[in-house]
Amino acid sequence: MATRRVCRECHRVLDSPDQQTCPACGSSSLTEDWAGYVVISHPETSEIASEMQVTEPGRYALKVR
């Protein structure tokens, strides 16, 4: 299984290892060097989403290098 890639800009975990750009923000700055994982389903009521400045539901990395 390939390591999942994460967007360095918005911390979104990408669905496919073949993706070259982030579908959420359009950035092509992707990395496999990340740690922690959070699923945000209701960003409008989530304190974690607020702290991370996330406005869309999805899977996000907590630490991106």
Conformation bin of residue 53: beta by default, left when phi > 0, alpha when psi is -120 to 50? left
- Residue 38 exposed, middle or buried by CB count within 10 Å (0-12, 13-18, 19+): middle
Contact status, residue 11 vs residue 53, Cβ threshold 8 Å? no
- Whole-prediction pTM: 0.89
Q: Residues forming the annotated binding site? A: 7, 10, 22, 25
The pLDDT tens digits of the residues spanning 8-58 come to 999 999 989 889 999 999 999 999 999 999 999 999 999 999 999 999 999
Contact status, residue 62 vs residue 40, Cβ threshold 8 Å? no
The domains located in the chain, with CATH, are: 6-64 (2.20.28.90)
Q: Residues forming the annotated binding site for Zn(2+)? A: 7, 10, 22, 25
Contact status, residue 13 vs residue 63, Cβ threshold 8 Å? no
pLDDT at 38: 97
